[in-house]
Amino acid sequence: VPGLESVVIVGASLAGLRAAEALRRAGFAGTLTLVGAEHHLPYDRPPLSKQLLLGTWEVERTALSSQEGIDKLALDLQLGIAATKLDVRRREVHLADGGRVGFDGLIIATGATPRRLPGQPDLPGVHMLRTLDDSLAVRAAFDAGARVAVIGAGFIGCEVAACARQRGLDVTVIEVLSQPLERTLGFQVGAAAAGIHRGHGVEFRLGTSVVGFEGRDRLEGVRLGDGSVVPADVAVIGIGVAPETGWLQDSGLMLRDGVVCNAALESSVEDIFAAGDVCRWENPLFGAEMRVEHWTNAVQQGMAAARNLLAPRDERRPFPSVPYVWSDQYDFTIMAIGHCSAPDVVEIKHGSLESGRFVALYGRNGRLEMAVGFGMPAELNAYRGLVVRASFADALDHELPED
Interface ranges with ligand FAD (CB under 6 A): 10-16, 35-38, 45-46, 48-49, 82-83, 109-112, 129-130, 156, 244, 247, 276-277, 293-296, 298, 325-327
Q: Least separation, in Å, of the C-beta of 98 and ligand FAD?
A: 14
**Which residue lies nearer to ligand FAD by CB, 12 or 310?**
12
Picking from 363, 375, 385, the residue whose alpha carbon sits closest to that of residue 335 is: 375
Picking from 104, 110, 77, 111, the residue whose alpha carbon sits closest to that of residue 88 is: 104
Q: Least separation, in Å, of the C-beta of 16 and ligand FAD?
A: 6
Q: Least separation, in Å, of the C-beta of 245 and ligand FAD?
A: 9
194-230 burial: b if 16+ Cβ within 10 Å, else e? bebbeeeebebbbebebeebebeeebbbbebeeeeeb
Picking from 9, 135, 130, 136, the residue whose alpha carbon sits closest to that of residue 70 is: 9
**Which residue lies nearer to ligand FAD by CB, 52 or 390?**
52
Radius of gyration for the alpha carbons in the chain, expressed in angstroms and rounded: 22
Look at residue 289 and give its three-state secondary structure: strand
Residues near 71 by Cβ (< 8 Å), separated by ≥ 6?
none
d(CA 146, CA 5): 53
Q: How far is CA 223 from CA 149, 177, 180, 326, in A?
A: 11, 17, 19, 32
**Which residue lies nearer to ligand FAD by CB, 162 or 298?**
298
Q: Least separation, in Å, of the C-beta of 333 and ligand FAD?
A: 9
Q: Least separation, in Å, of the C-beta of 325 and ligand FAD?
A: 4
**Which residue lies nearer to ligand FAD by CB, 156 or 390?**
156
Q: Least separation, in Å, of the C-beta of 65 and ligand FAD?
A: 13
**Which residue lies nearer to ligand FAD by CB, 110 or 179?**
110
Positive or negative CA dihedral for 284, 257, 328, 343? negative
**Which residue lies nearer to ligand FAD by CB, 13 or 283?**
13
d(CA 223, CA 4): 55
Q: Least separation, in Å, of the C-beta of 139 and ligand FAD?
A: 12
d(CA 8, CA 397): 49
Q: What strands, in cross-sheet order, belong to the sheet with 229-231?
A: 210-214, 221-224, 229-231
**Which residue lies nearer to ligand FAD by CB, 37 or 390?**
37
Q: Least separation, in Å, of the C-beta of 311 and ligand FAD?
A: 21
Q: How far is CA 204 from CA 151, 193, 235, 356, in A?
A: 10, 11, 14, 18
Picking from 224, 188, 228, the residue whose alpha carbon sits closest to that of residue 207 is: 224
Q: Least separation, in Å, of the C-beta of 335 and ligand FAD?
A: 9
**Which residue lies nearer to ligand FAD by CB, 50 or 205?**
50
Q: Least separation, in Å, of the C-beta of 111 and ligand FAD?
A: 2
Q: Contact at 8 Å (CB) between 95 and 84?
A: yes
d(CA 128, CA 237): 5
**Which residue lies nearer to ligand FAD by CB, 16 or 363?**
16
**Which residue lies nearer to ligand FAD by CB, 39 or 317?**
39
218 phi-psi bin (left φ>0, alpha ψ -120 to 50, beta other): beta
